[in-house]
Amino acid sequence: MTSRRRELAKQLFGLTDGGEAQTKLASRIAEAILSDMVQHCQKAWTEEGPGVLVVRRTVDDARWSPAAMVEENLRTAESCGDTDLADCFRSTLNAISNIDIEQRVPIAIADHLGFRLLIVPVNGAAHSIAELLETWNG
């Protein structure tokens, strides 16, 4: 595992520098969390309609944002003249409208770096942990 991932694992899980075994454990924990997020997305999609799971790092939570809320955020970003953020919301809406929720789920990370969308495969979600960790770390 790269030192960047090791540092992220230490941040996420409060790990000391216990070596490779501890890092592998942290990676497995992250994979389990990602698999849980996939299930949460599918359930929310079914119960609340199409949308995206938004992980908000600044307040340490994750919330389902239906497509209507993403559209509202898009209009707000446009009215404020924030074209970069508006483009992110537009891309998210496009992904939501074109996704097969049985195959892939949309997860977004919102933090001081902006709003980044990940499309996570349902089968083998753990394989996308590297992308999630890299995106999470910015």
Q: Domain map of the chain by residue range?
A: 3-137
> Are 120 and 38 contacting, i.e. CB atoms less than 8 angstroms apart?
yes
The model's pLDDT over 15-65, given as tens digits with 9 standing for 90+, comes to 566 667 766 776 677 777 777 888 889 999 999 999 999 988 777 788 999
Q: In this model, does residue 132 exceed pLDDT 70?
A: no
Question: Considering the entire predicted model, what is its pTM?
Answer: 0.73
Q: What is the pLDDT of residue 109?
A: 85
Count of helices and strands (H, E) across the chain: 5, 4
The C-alpha atoms of residue 61 and residue 65 are separated, in whole angstroms, by 12
- Cβ-count burial 71-108 (b if 16+ within 10 Å, e if not): eebbeebeeeeeeebbebbbebbebbeebebeebbbbb
Question: How far apart are the C-alpha atoms of 136 and 89, rounded to whole Å?
Answer: 18
What are the tens digits of pLDDT across the range 52-110? 999 887 777 889 999 999 999 999 999 999 999 999 999 999 999 999 999 999 998 88
